Structure 1
Amino acid sequence: MESILTINNLTKKFGYLTAVKDLSFTIKKGNVYGILGPNGSGKSTTLGVVLNVVNKTSGDFHWFDGKISTHDALKKVGAIIERPNFYPYMSGYQNLKLVCKIKGVNYSKIEEKLKIVGLLERKDSKFKTFSLGMKQRLAIASALLNDPEILILDEPTNGLDPQGIHQIREIIKQIAAKGTTILLASHLLDEVEKVCTHVVVLRKGKKLYSGRVDEMISSNGFFELKCNNQEALVTLLERHNSFSKIKVENDLVTAFLTEPMRSDDFNKYLFEKGIILTHLIQRKESLEEQFLQLTDNQTNQI
């Protein structure tokens, strides 16, 4: 599969602050990638570097297998990395005409892109009358005018109400379904889980995980347990090879599995060891639980 963007050992420092540290990952054509991390994790800085608006400190990156220069490659990229900035007293259509002039794109593209983002009926309305969600959708239409091979979005649903968030996410899925590669930065686990096929997890500029979203959440899950003798239960679990981590909160014990295990087999095993469970629930880990485990492990290493 063709590589759209390859980042190798990228580092960016602002004085004494290291915003991105030795970051490497590859974006393949036709997927939806999420760069996930809390504020200050280096997401926007990474996007700024590959879009040539922030100078790297070390490392390198190349677009489209390095076959063309970054300048020419960026002509195939659509990006929104700041708040939408259009002329308030001009209509949505007029604003996009200006963008077409700048990008050298035919005006015939305007209505096609407005239809994709659900703004065709409001094309003659002034930009100042648009809601925040509509402004963001117009920005996406603007980024799509040159039919980019990759669309880059920095926190695309930030500040929107639930309806606006849903609309933007559906538009992203629709664009991806037509074959456009998408890279979005987000601090929202829910967003990445619902929209992205792949995820790069960052914390303080360092990569904690890179891979498919479904593989990240396809762990063996965990048991939530309560019993008549918590101390004996915890001791038994800690000595058992099938569990990687045991968490105790009040009377609830959470045991994370390293391999598949049926709840009835597990219950029988504990009963034979003299432990009577009063509560047993088997769950799969969500992306949030995986993310918290990753960041918790990283914290413990510092």
Structure 2
Amino acid sequence: MTETVVSTDRLTKRYGSRAAVDSVSLTVRRGEVYGFLGPNGAGKTTTLRMLLGLIRPTSGSARVLGHRPGAPAATARTGALIEGPGFYPYLSGRDNLRVMARYRGLAETDVDLALARVDLTAHRRSAFRSYSLGMKQRLGVAAALLGRPELLVLDEPTNGLDPAGMADLRQLLVDLAGQGQTVLISSHLLGEVQEICDRVGVIRNGRLITESTVAEVRGTGSLYVRAEPTGTALAVVARIVGDHAVTLTARGIRIDGDISLAPEIAKALVGQGVLLHELRVAERTLEEVFFELTTNESVPAGAGARRTDS
């Protein structure tokens, strides 16, 4: 079984009568990129701050790298970027990192390596105050990378990055996970999350409503058929997949279920003399599923949470 790096058990944070985080139980495993998703104000940053020991939970518990959040044995092996980077404005990017490296007993070679990994070497001597928003964000990620941490916790790390910067960061996070490091990332760019994350947890109103692999959250997808005559095509498709899996829509016939039946459906339609205009697979994006989960009030808080041990 894969080692657990981060776990929470009914982790809760209340501010007066309001529960910012409400009984969240999640698991992050070694070597994976875990996406922590939710609307603004859902409790993502509060949860991450509790995991880093920056704020205390009201109730519940958490373990980070086998220790309580904020314990020296955990913080020494964790790199983090929470709510934007904060640096000395008059120091250069490199000197800012040197200050941090000296405090942690790291070599200057670690500074240069971190700058190179976020493509800031050419700007290492420029004052932080002259950096663009994207460059400041890159330096924040570089600071989190100092000392090659086992766990990387990044809160909206793509803020301010242009498309090229986002692609570079995406590749960096995949590479880190491939080398055995663990990445816990919150982001509102769901297309990016879909590309890089192994598993995701979705939080709404402070409660974790699902936790699973990206593939399982997205589901199996659907088939769409455009054919004439429509009535004949509908009857043929229903005989193969069953009436319950077939829906007539404005875009054609939607078939929910086993998309591997596409060749059989196409063969049957042609065999019945149906004029087949289109047969395509339509997989739901993570963004579509996210909006279903976070805006559909019929989904009860805490429902649908799934765990996999594979």
Whichever residue aligns with residue 211 of structure 1, its letter is S
Q: Which residue of 2 aligns with 1:263?
A: 262
Q: Using the alignment, how far apart are the partners of 2:69 and 2:198 within structure 1? A: 28
Is 2:4 the partner of 1:6?
Answer: no
Q: Which residue of 1 aligns with 2:287?
A: 288
Structure 1 pair 12/269, CA: closer, same or farther in 2 (3 Å)? farther
Q: Which residue of 1 aligns with 2:305?
A: none
Is 2:43 the partner of 1:42?
Answer: yes
Q: Using the alignment, how far apart are the partners of 2:19 and 2:221 within structure 1? A: 35
Give aligned-pair identity as a percent: 36
Q: Using the alignment, how far apart are the partners of 2:210 and 2:190 within structure 1? A: 14
Q: Using the alignment, how far apart are the partners of 2:17 and 2:288 within structure 1? A: 32
Give TM-score scaled by structure 2 length: 0.81
Shift of 1:223: 2.0
Superposed CA offset, 1:249-274 (max 9, x none)? x45453421x4551243357789999
Structure 1 pair 170/130, CA: closer, same or farther in 2 (3 Å)? farther
Shift of 1:54: 2.5
Structure 1 pair 89/61, CA: closer, same or farther in 2 (3 Å)? same
Q: Using the alignment, how far apart are the partners of 2:267 and 2:17 within structure 1? A: 56
Q: Using the alignment, how far apart are the partners of 1:54 and 1:246 within structure 2? A: 50
Q: Using the alignment, how far apart are the partners of 2:243 and 2:91 within structure 1? A: 63
Structure 1 pair 120/229, CA: closer, same or farther in 2 (3 Å)? closer
More deviation, 72-81/171-180: 171-180
Q: What number of residue pairs does the alignment pair up? A: 296
Q: Which residue of 2 aligns with 1:299?
A: 297
Give the 5 Å matches for 1:151-190. 151-190=152-191
SS at 1:108's partner residue? helix
Superposed CA offset, 1:139-163 (max 9, x none)? 1121122321101100111233222
Q: Using the alignment, how far apart are the partners of 1:26 and 1:242 within structure 2? A: 39
Q: Using the alignment, how far apart are the partners of 1:173 and 1:65 within structure 2? A: 24
Shift of 1:243: 5.0
Give TM-score scaled by structure 1 length: 0.83
Shift of 1:90: 1.3
Q: Using the alignment, how far apart are the partners of 1:155 and 1:38 within structure 2? A: 12
Whichever residue aligns with residue 203 of structure 2, its letter is L
Q: Using the alignment, how far apart are the partners of 1:282 and 1:117 within structure 2? A: 37
Give the 5 Å matches for 1:112-131. 112-131=113-132
More deviation, 264-273/110-119: 264-273
Whichever residue aligns with residue 18 of structure 2, its letter is L
Q: Using the alignment, how far apart are the partners of 1:54 and 1:157 within structure 2? A: 24
Contact preservation (8 Å) 1:62, 1:70? no
Q: Which residue of 2 aligns with 1:76?
A: 77
Specify every segment of 5 or more residues in structure 2 that has no aligned partner in the other structure, as ranges.
301-310
Q: Using the alignment, how far apart are the partners of 1:22 and 1:275 within structure 2? A: 54
Superposed CA offset, 1:63-106 (max 9, x none)? 2234x674121221110002222122211121112112332323
Give the root-mean-square deviation of aligned CA atoms.
3.3
